Amino acid sequence: MNILLKSAKIICPENGSLHLKKRDILIKKGIIEKISTSIEVNSNTKCIDYKNLHISLGWIDSSVSFGEPGFEERETIENGLDVAARSGFSDILLNPNTNPLPDTSSDIVFLKERAKNSTTNLHPLGCLTINSEGKDLAELFDMKNAGAVAYYDFKKQISNPNILKIALLYAESFDGLIFSYPQNGDIAGKGIVHEGEVSTALGLKAIPALAEELQISRDLFILEYTGGKLHIPTISTANSVKLIANAKKRGLDVSCSVAVHNLIFTDESLKEFDTNFKVSPPLRSKSDCKALIKGLKDGIVDFVTSDHIPIAIEEKMVEFDNAVDGSIGLESAFGSLNHILGLEKTISLLTKGRERFGLGQTAIKEGEKACITLFDPDDENVFMEKQILSNTKNSMFLGSRLKGKVYGTINNDKLLIQ
């Protein structure tokens, strides 16, 4: 496929010669052939000449769930990757949130095969322990050879500290990355929302910030002992940011992420008992939101994720206590971040992670593979259900004001646009 991007404004801070410049970009057979102020082409080339067209390197999301296999009513791999591409993401890390769970090399091969020929690259996360039960390590090395980029018992604490110790020591031998969900289950108990005035007023069982911070403290002590690489997904409290900042100062190889919704919404949003706001970790306080945003700006929090989790309507249209945790977020991620952080910081965050997750580097320059996201950063809109491309509609962003519109993604010699 031959594509010409006309008068595209390039957002690429790491390339000073092109950053904030308007250029025509000619792509042939998936490779950037020419970048110039003006390029003329023949009729065999598809011309993209959109209003206020901006481009950047393809975006990465480090926490995405679909459903297939086992929960296809939530989302299939095919449609999920279509949603990701139309939402601007060239690469997603797929959570082990299926049935059966991916804890062997053959499971990873299945996921990779199902994602073949897609615009968006699917990078599977394998389970850390067999069936994510926290008892015995899964086939980490074999899964790596099959294509797993890291290991994670999705949204489950590693209860046994010795499991984390052994995993970090073992994975270090092949540069493996271990995810550890930041929640102490004994402290969290049967809590479902943040512990504070709102939980008391609503009479809902609460999860104190201590549950997250205690687990992170333990994990960082183990990391200091073992060495290796640790990633802490979706932190949610101010003290978590401080703990990770101190660990980085001590030279520990630790990274962390935050979900977009934990930057924007607080536990005040729970007052209507809307189950779309029931997520894990829970929505925290306004001061936690501010600390997380500051942590991103200061570089302490490494990545931002949509933490996209499709949930079927019958699992959400129940009493708040019984609803399944999760909100979709791929479609609203860019507009939400751009609204609170501004364009350059948003793009910087959405394009981070290739080195950490071993995805391979790319660049906007002649001779390089075209891995590009297309968008208009100035389009202001209210997020409506008609903008949701996912099979399920469980989004807490419905009715939110967004800034920015995604046109689509060019990757793997494919163009997928809305």
Residue numbers annotated as active site? 307
Give the span between the Cα atoms of 322 and 316, in whole angstroms: 8
DSSP 8-state class, residue 101: -
Strand partners, 405: 376
In three-state secondary structure terms, 216 is helix
DSSP 8-state class, residue 315: H
Q: How many CB atoms lie within 10 A of CB 417?
A: 14
Q: Which helix or strand (DSSP H or E) is residue 382 part of?
A: strand 372-382
Sequence-distant (6+) residues with CB within 8 A of 401 are 339, 380, 381, 382, 383
Give the span between the Cα atoms of 294 and 263, in whole angstroms: 10
Contact yes or no for 235/241 (Cβ under 8 A) = yes
Give the span between the Cα atoms of 380 and 276, in whole angstroms: 23
Q: Euclidean distance between the first and final Cα of the chain, in Å?
A: 18
**Structure tokens, 231:** 């990633």
In terms of Cβ atoms closer than 10 Å to its own Cβ (0-12, 13-18, 19+), residue 135 is: exposed
